[in-house]
Structure 1
Amino acid sequence: GHNLGSDGQARESLREDLQEFLGGEVLLYQLDDLTKVNPVTLETVLRCLQSRYMADTFYTNAGCTLVALNPFKPVPQLYSPELMREYHAAPQPQKLKPHVFTVGEQTYRNVKSLIEPVNQSIVVSGESGAGKTWTSRCLMNFYAVVAASPTSWESHKIAERIEQRILNSNPVMEAFGNACTLRNNNSSRFGKFIQLQLNRAQQMVGAAVQTYLLEKTRVVCQAFSERNFHIFYQICKGASEDERLQWHLPEGAAFSWLPNPERSLEEDCFEVTREAMLHLGIDTPTQNNIFKVLAGLLHLGNIQFAASEDEAQPCQPMDDAKCSVRTAASLLGLQEDVLLKTVQIRTIRAGRQQQLFRKPCPRAECDTRRDCLAKLIYARLFDWLVSVINSSICADTNSWTTFIGLLDVYGFESFPDNSLEQLCINYANEKLQLEACGLVETIHISAAGFPIRVSHQNFVERYKLLRRLRPCTSSGPHSPYPAKGLPEWCPHAKEATLEPLLQDILHTLPVLTQTKATPGDLAEAMPTPVHCGRTKVFMTDSMLELLECGRDQVLEQCARCIQSGWRRHRQRKQERQRQATILIQAAIRSWLTRKRIQRLHAAATVIKRTWQKWRIRMACLAAEELDDVEEKHLSQAPGSLSTSPLQTRLLEAVIRLWPLGLVLTNTAMGVGNFQRKLVVWACLQLPRGSPSSYTVQTAQQDQAGVTSIRAMPQGSIKFHCKKSPLRYADICPEPSPYSLG
């Protein structure tokens, strides 16, 4: 009874708070964050959103989530390029009015500012018709503006082409994947994940599209007051006369798979789709083949079968459907009989020998096989189109490092009769809502002071390096882990070991606070405790900022340590290379010097030996000539044998010195002819007589030199000038060209 009374008092207090809060309804439109709503209930949240919607304010923050309302009307200047640049240039975009550009800018800065580039993703979820596709399109336009800042003109043209292709993929994907439903005229009938690829300079260089769960059942079956995919209506309304004849689409033709063709929508613009396909690289002949396949599917839907009276005979098409069979086969590029056999007859493999059995299908099964064939063809065409778009807008793997993902999920819808695709769509939305904890739960968590929630695994993987900041005294008997051998995170770690590991990381918060705060405001800088839940860690924005600062500090220390180690290693390596280079240079120079000295020594030896040979040869020639002169002289003075030793020595001196007189008399310049003869007579000590009885033959001025001297018996002297057989023998080592060795 006590508990029931307490619950009743709590409900009464909540009702009073609710009435008090709703009493000031005039100020509800001023609350730009739902965490300011008190009390936080579904009614107060919806009242606040309704008040802001009536005031033409369509974006509201809910902690880390942005709530967007579809205005269902054009709002001028809400998505202008000037507003994009304003949010991009703002120092703190979160302080501006809530907008989808705030989320886009925060995501872009997260990719740009983190030391380790972390890929970011934005989940756009909601009911069908809530504006998810439009929001994704606005985000793509925003990134195309802020993530394109090339420096050169050529790079600017390349970036413009990439952006145009990325933006042109939207009309093509919407034409082939969107349809008109009861809640939305442009409802996405497939889920897509758009990956905007950024390079190291955070410039958008490409994109990639990945699709999920196309509602191909809509090709053959549409609910009441709904339509098929937009592209079927576009080719029927926008084709020219020649194209109508080529695709067999006459005006006013009725197709069973094309309900409500009289409705005109903004999305029924065939020229926009064709122009976008041209920008994506799909040329006109390829487009013509695509539209022929689509027209063939429409004619395939008009084929109706009549029930066969004999089960062994296949069902035949009705009389008014035979033309549709022929047209569908022609447009699809198939033979008419092959198309009919595919729909009418089922092939069965049975037995150990895998024998083929062909069984005619009843009328209902023929219709089912026809529908399955159409769905398969359209699904293959859609997948091929996505692959062509990716090949056109996707960048090279080596040219991008990070990406920003945009997940445009299918809208939640519930009808009296739901298909399997719709069941999967609703289930995926429910899972996303549970993952995001729901809007009201998110507001409750944000209002409690813990708007940031991170899973245990991500928290440990990102902040486990903060344990490096802990002092060495922290490892003791009361510490969950010693200083050495700290455990690494394991995805399958038990909950018993997870809690001490988280506490070990959180023990570094006082150290972070002391390093960040000044001594005067140390008490104010102490953060509020972090709440650790069963699967997630909840924290405030200030706590997240503190952890990120600590993480940056540790990474900076590690980077400095790595840099110092690398520089020390590089300096040592350069010093070793320098010493090795000096040693190699010294060895090479020593070797070259020794080789040069050896060559010079060998050349000097050759020159010395040649010179010595030449001198010896000249001495021999001179000795032979002097011996001849001496013999002649002795033969003419026989009485000289009784001369004294002094006379003998003088005679030897005269014999040895007489070539000098010959040279002096042979010179072209100097004394006259008579004086020259006297000198010769005095030097040679010739017998006394008239000087005119002796003739002296002198060398010409143009002779190279005296090579041999011979004294004639009659007293005349001849100089024989010959060229030496040696290569360098004619060059005398002395400066004078007429000196004798």
Structure 2
Amino acid sequence: PCTVCSPDQEFVKTTGDLLQIPMEELLESLRIRTITAGKQQQVFKKPCSRAECETRRDCLAKVIYARLFEWLVLVINENIYTDPSVWTSFIGLLDVYGFEAFPENNLEQLCINYANEKLQQHFVAHYLKAQQEEYAAEGLQWSFINYQDNQNCLDLIEGNPLSIFSLLNEECRLNRPSNTDLFQTRIEKALSSNQCLSRDKFSKKPNFIISHYAGKVCYQLAAMVEKNKDAVPPELLHVLQNSKDPLLQKLFPVTEKNQNNTKTQNRAAVVTVVSKFKSSLEHLMEILSRTTPHYIRCIKPNADCKAMTFRREEVLSQLQACGIVEAITISAAGFPVRIPFQSFTERYDLLRKSWGSSKKRVWGETPVMDDDKAPRAAVLEILQDAVRGQTPAQETGNGAEIPSVYCGKTKVFLSNSVLELLEARRAEVLNEKAFCIQCCWRRFKEKKTAKEKHSATLIQAALRSWLAKNRFQRMRRAARVIQRAWRRWTAKAAALAAAELDEGEGEEFPAPGATLAKAPCSLDTELQAAVQFWPLGLVLAAAPVSVTGPRRALALLSCLRGLQEGSRGHLGCGITSIRALPQGSVRFHCRRSPLHFANVSPHTEGFSITGFNQILLDRQELLPT
């Protein structure tokens, strides 16, 4: 028999301790097969090969897991179960595998895809039935004709008398080693008429291809027959029944049939995996047919389980695998868009208002209708305007005579083309309304801006006026101050001139060459200089007033030269009159004081003297030392 390596003995011992089975009995059940033959029921023991020992090991693990799972479900149901007389309805949750297609597929994938085919057929039947009931309730005479049915695929897998399952079960009942090439030939010969069956001719391994509703899947025939048998050796059951663990004793109870073990093995009584799976699936479909199912499709955006990651190819394959694409295809065969009258009117009522206000109706005013018929009439009016352009349609008893459109009792049924047309018209109207709103807003904004500018202009004008008025008032006050100062100075100058005339009247001027007398002590130095040299003011007064510029400067220069020639040699003693030098004392009367001409200044470029004020300042040069 097959021996166990020394490192693996520890695992065997641990397994025996957990199962509470002696290690020797566990090894014997895994390595030795018991055969009962003949009428005398003779028992023979045959050592197993390494591959058979591995198969028995896996079988032991699977049978324990299966019994444990069934027991757990039974315990849960017993605790939450209620008497059927108390309740009349229930809620059931069914979680099944999705469609599977791997690089290498075998019996497991075949069973899972078979279950998905059955559920897809039920989903399509339920969906079509629901659609037909909705159409009938709305008074629409319609039947689905153009849709894909997967009955051919189901006939290929489970049909009678010949199918893949029947041939697989027959191969399992034969008491001979399985030949995959021969089994492939039998399948191709028996099921060649089915269009859903094909084969990968480029593969060296025996295989067959089934065209499912979600796509083609290639299945390998290697080890498929052995997996379908799934027979539990009686030695393993006997060892598990002899376990001292209480849970295993419940899972594998000892029966009279197991104790006697005298019944011969009957090949016709072999229950295969596909047979059990088929019967279980049929029972499930019976329950689903008596209930109202609701389908929830779970889509995984990526295989890495990462957030915010969406892979288009993986999602599309899942949509195809769970039948969403097929459902959409079936829905497109009828009226995929169904909108209640109220929702339709709320969304597309602007189409009626937009054309109804600007274009005349040929049928006149709308007659008064009942409240029940008013929504349908509004929907018909919108459809007539939108779909037929601006030509009103004749209303019939069955609804609007428009292709791909039907008005039921509470809903309007539309095709995709009509929906696209309605949405396009609605977008146009919305664009027009948006443009109108934009125009009104721009006009309001421009008016508001103009008013703001006008208001700003008024504010600026008022502020500038206030500033100008304040500046004018300040300037006027400053001018008044200057005027007062000027008048005060003018008055003082006039007073000084009057005092000079009053004091100089009756006095005698000295002869040429004589020194001038000193001024009275009451006058200061400036006044003394003004009194002594007042004839210079007469020179300025004698210049022509109408002449300006350089000619006036030349006239003043000629007068001064006359003074200089008439008093050459006596300038240091004073300035004499500009008249002819008299002989002796001369009494001179002047009606205007020279101080009145003190602000008349000669040209500054040719002369350094700028008026009588400069003469008063240069007293150190003019006064005698």
TM-score tier (shorter): 0.3 to 0.5
TM-score of the aligned structures, taking structure 2 as reference length: 0.35
Q: Which has the larger radius of gyration?
A: 2
TM-score, normalised via structure 1 length: 0.30
